[in-house]
Amino acid sequence: MTFSRLLPLLLLVPALTMADEDRNFKLSSENFKVGNALEHATNFAIVLDSSVAISQEPVFPLLPNRLYLRHKNSAKEYLWFSGEAKAEEYKKLHAYNLKENHLGAREVLGLRLYASRQYKAFQDEADIYFDTEYIYSPRVSKLLFMKNGKWEVLKESVHPGMVQILSDEKNLEIVSLSAKMKPGTRSLYPVNPGTYVFSFNAPDQLPYADIGNLQSGEVLTFNVKFPAPDTSVAVTVDSNAAASSSAVASSSSAAVLDSGAVSSSSADSSNSVIAIPDFDAPASSSSVVPVSNVAEAKTAPVVPSVTIEQVQALQTLEETEALYDAFSAEVDKNFKRVDTTEFSKFYPAIKPADSLGLADSGKVYRGYVAHYNLKRSEAQNLWRQKKLGVVSNLYKAFHAKLDSLQALPFQINMMPVAIEKIMKAPDTTIVIDSSKSPADTIMKIVESNKIDSLNLSFGAERERVEVSWKGVVESFPMDSLVTLLAEGNTSLVTTLFLVNNKPVWVFKEGDLVGRYQYRYEKLGFRMGDSLYFGKGEFKLPKHILVEKEVEEWLKRGPESSSSVAPSSSSAAPDTVKTEPVFNVVEHASRGTVALIDSGSFRYRGKVVSMSPFAIHTTEVTQEFFHKIMGLLDSTKRYPDKSAFKGPNKPVQNITWENAQYACKVLGGDLPTEAQWEFAGRAGSNDGYLWTSDDAMGVNKYAVFAGNSFKKGKKDADYGPHDVASKAPNAWGLYDMSGNVAEWTRDNYFAITFSIESSNPTGSFWGTSKVLKGGSWKDKEKKLNMTARDDEDPRYWSDGIGFRCVFTLDKIIQGK
């Protein structure tokens, strides 16, 4: 070898000797390039853009259910990507468990990994994959790295598995009973071998549950195919099922009034022919659908005898109730006649335990059975509702009509059925005959016979009106009044005045047994053009008083009474059941709150009762938020990330967890959806504080797209406004519609199985949280307080804020 050829080698020796050996085997943050393009990113185990993928900055901790790729572009340039794993490519990777190898993902990220000890610096693996528990190599089964000048070996582990869910349904809702699953994702990895149970829901589809076994290193795939009726089964129409118009609503029909969902029978019929009621057919007829028209007959909805137009045309509450009772009885009787043999033929059967290699008594299999039965019952209910077609819309129409008619003031002209005179105590008068001598004086004892008050009874036992009244009519001679009442004199008209036409519906063992008026306000007596009002009190019978709704109404305010002079105009009432006084309290540490009294309201189709509570009158402001954080040690605080700054503007960009944390610091919590809606509607049946024909009403009460978002970023009104810049509701609460949407405590789930009758707490299922009220970005229709939205609790935006609730003792007693 000539010197000229040897010279380069001689020059290389000092360079290698002087080099820091560790730099050849480790990566620094400078090696990772952000924003670089990776073209033709298709041959990877991770889903990247098919044309060009852009590298990111490595961020720790790694997110679960996510696969990361470290790609080597050159000796000093590495790129970092994240995305979904490709199932078939994922299971081909060689896996190395980090815990088994006593390494952390952050540590391994900076190591150069080699396939052999013979490899030199900068000849490490080009592609390495990461997740929260493993690193993966697509090429070799053994990986080495240099540590403290020695070669270390990564031991290959048993490959974890993957569970993937395939479906073309965009709005698929997945509930996993076996592992935590991030909303919106359709795969789980890395996961251990075992049994996995899921339920699947989607709009306009019948939900179902499925189970499968995952083998080590394999991919368990659930191909979601929602059950659909088999259109080849014959249908019999039974028209003898129509209920008479005098029928009273039964337990399941009453449940429909409350919840808007018809309850289903738990047992399937054993008949092979499907019976479906024909509400339009004559009562004595029945027919069998021809085979040629089977598909059409099976998909056609069942049409009840009542139409929405009929409901909307009703004028009085009594005729609405009568038609509702007939309709409910009709639905109740015919709904259960929708035979479920057809359902059993197309709905997937439960998978036997032995087919899965499981024991019937095993915990996992028993959980699957319970969930399967739940989903099956839910699907059967939905299927039956589709069979009944417009029934759901009819119930909504009845609800709207009942609410509107029950809200109206009401008067009943009715003579009492019983009159009791309550006399004054005897008043003895001595009369002396002066014509006689003192010895012969004759004393006459005269006892007065004056009426002290009257006790009048109205109506009959267990009828709509059943009430007594005790009092006086000071400007009308009592004896004359008694005479007129006793004679039934038609020149005297006796009128019961009610606050509104809202009776209480009383049920016994699930059956409606009667409706009774109870919101009596005053008693009037009209003679000609003069109207006399009594001064006294009403008394309800025990069977009405014990109803929860009545109890709550009577607690709403103190009684007051006053005498009335003859007049043709309105006068003071006998016993005034005043609206509750909702005090606003300025608490030293918990802020300004409104004290909300107990009551009941129609919540998501059901009348529910609410216990007292206190709620912030405004959304939590940035100034108050800083005070809350000031109550904590500096290590426990988190910053206000509001995009629109201002001390009186509401906090924005806050996650559900952080909002609840702030409320907990104050000794409260986020409101339940029911608490929020009860307080926001302030006794109204509507979800808006303004009427539909009041074009300016929304601007009076709400900050919304029309007066904020649509003005554009350069306008001063763009974004959320200072709290309380709009008018409050009747209970002193501001911005319940608009400004920022507000987190509530409740879980969100697309399907409601049941709503508690008292203080509802939301769904047991679901990972999202309910948002209420709409924001400054929303159109008017989204400001309805009965509407609901949902978001991942980790989500935040400049349109989301919060307010807190407290038990009354936290405010009144300062506990």
In terms of Cβ atoms closer than 10 Å to its own Cβ (0-12, 13-18, 19+), residue 515 is: middle
C-alpha span between 148 and 22 (Å, rounded): 8
Q: Are 736 and 680 in contact (CB under 8 A)?
A: yes
Q: Evaluate if residue 812 carries a pLDDT over 60.
A: yes
Decide which of 93, 123, 154 is a domain's last residue: 154
- Interior CA angle at 136 toward 134 and 137, to 5°? 160
pLDDT at 695: 54
Q: What is the pLDDT of residues 687-720, one digit of tens each?
A: 888 875 565 689 999 999 999 999 999 999 999 9
If asked whether residues 735 and 627 sit together in one domain, one would say yes
pLDDT at 437: 52
Q: Tell me the two tokens of residue 380.
A: 């059967």
* Residue 177 pLDDT level (bands cut at 50, 70, 90): confident
| Domain contains 221 | no
C-alpha span between 329 and 337 (Å, rounded): 13
Q: Which residues pair with 220 in a beta bridge?
A: 163
Label the pairing between strands 235-238 and 274-277: parallel
Q: What is the pLDDT of residues 722-770, one digit of tens each?
A: 999 999 998 999 999 999 999 999 999 877 777 888 899 888 888 899 9
If asked whether residues 550 and 592 sit together in one domain, one would say no
If asked whether residues 436 and 530 sit together in one domain, one would say yes
If asked whether residues 651 and 535 sit together in one domain, one would say no
Q: Tell me the two tokens of residue 60.
A: 């720790």
Decide which of 534, 554, 574 is a domain's last residue: 554
Which residues are CB-neighbours of 20 under 8 A, at least 6 positions away? none
Percent of the chain scored above 70 by pLDDT?
A: 78
In terms of Cβ atoms closer than 10 Å to its own Cβ (0-12, 13-18, 19+), residue 246 is: exposed
Residue 285 exposure: Cα atoms within 13 Å on the Cβ side: 7
DSSP class per residue in 373-417: HHHHHHHHHHHHHHHTTTHHHHHHHHHHHHHHHHTS-EEEE---S
Label the pairing between strands 134-137 and 127-130: antiparallel
Backbone CA torsion sign across 178, 180, 185, 188:
negative
Kindly state the average pLDDT of the residues 512-532: 91
User: Which of 62-71, 130-139, 205-214, 506-515 has the lowest average pLDDT?
Assistant: 506-515
pLDDT at 190: 93
Q: How many domains does the chain fold into?
A: 3
C-alpha span between 251 and 722 (Å, rounded): 49
If asked whether residues 742 and 798 sit together in one domain, one would say yes
Backbone CA torsion sign across 83, 86, 87, 92:
negative
Higher pLDDT, 570 or 482: 482
C-alpha span between 140 and 94 (Å, rounded): 7
C-alpha span between 265 and 262 (Å, rounded): 10
| Domain contains 61 | yes
| Domain contains 677 | yes
pLDDT at 655: 95
Task: Tell me, letter by letter, the H, E, C secondary structure of 705-742.
Answer: HHHCHHHCCCCCCCCCCCCCCCCCCCCCCCCCCECCEE
CB neighbours of residue 21 within 10 Å: 12
If asked whether residues 430 and 545 sit together in one domain, one would say yes
Kindly state the average pLDDT of the residues 57-79: 90
* Residue 811 pLDDT level (bands cut at 50, 70, 90): confident
| Domain contains 697 | yes
Higher pLDDT, 577 or 373: 373
Q: What is the pLDDT of residues 760-805, one digit of tens each?
A: 988 888 889 999 999 999 999 899 999 999 999 999 999 999 999 9
Pick from 9, 129, 6: nearest CA to 70: 129
If asked whether residues 670 and 785 sit together in one domain, one would say yes
Give the range of the structural domain holding residue 769, as residue numbers without chain letter: 584-812
Decide which of 122, 154, 186 is a domain's last residue: 154
| Domain contains 629 | yes
If asked whether residues 675 and 797 sit together in one domain, one would say yes
| Domain contains 599 | yes
Classify 287 as helix, strand or coil: strand
User: Which of 521-535, 572-586, 653-667 has the lowest average pLDDT?
Assistant: 572-586
C-alpha span between 455 and 420 (Å, rounded): 5
> 443-454 as b/e, with b when 16 or more CB fall inside 10 Å?
eeeeeeeeeebb
C-alpha span between 564 and 574 (Å, rounded): 9
* Intra-chain end-to-end CA distance of the chain, in Å: 94
- Give, for 253, the enclosing helix (H) or strand (E): helix 251-259
Q: Tell me the two tokens of residue 809.
A: 């003792």
CATH of the domain at 746: 3.90.1580.10
Kindly state the average pLDDT of the residues 469-474: 91
Q: Tell me the two tokens of residue 593.
A: 């709150």
pLDDT at 121: 58
Kindly state the average pLDDT of the residues 319-333: 83
Label the pairing between strands 768-772 and 511-516: unpaired
If asked whether residues 612 and 523 sit together in one domain, one would say no
Kindly state the average pLDDT of the residues 187-205: 91
Q: Evaluate if residue 256 carries a pLDDT over 70.
A: no
Pick from 453, 534, 547: nearest CA to 496: 534
Q: Evaluate if residue 426 carries a pLDDT over 90.
A: no
| Domain contains 39 | yes
pLDDT at 449: 62
pLDDT at 766: 85
Kindly state the average pLDDT of the residues 381-403: 76
If asked whether residues 694 and 750 sit together in one domain, one would say yes
pLDDT at 749: 85
If asked whether residues 85 and 24 sit together in one domain, one would say yes
If asked whether residues 544 and 589 sit together in one domain, one would say no
* Residue 23 pLDDT level (bands cut at 50, 70, 90): low
Kindly state the average pLDDT of the residues 153-173: 92
C-alpha span between 701 and 680 (Å, rounded): 12
| Domain contains 466 | yes
pLDDT at 196: 94
C-alpha span between 338 and 275 (Å, rounded): 5
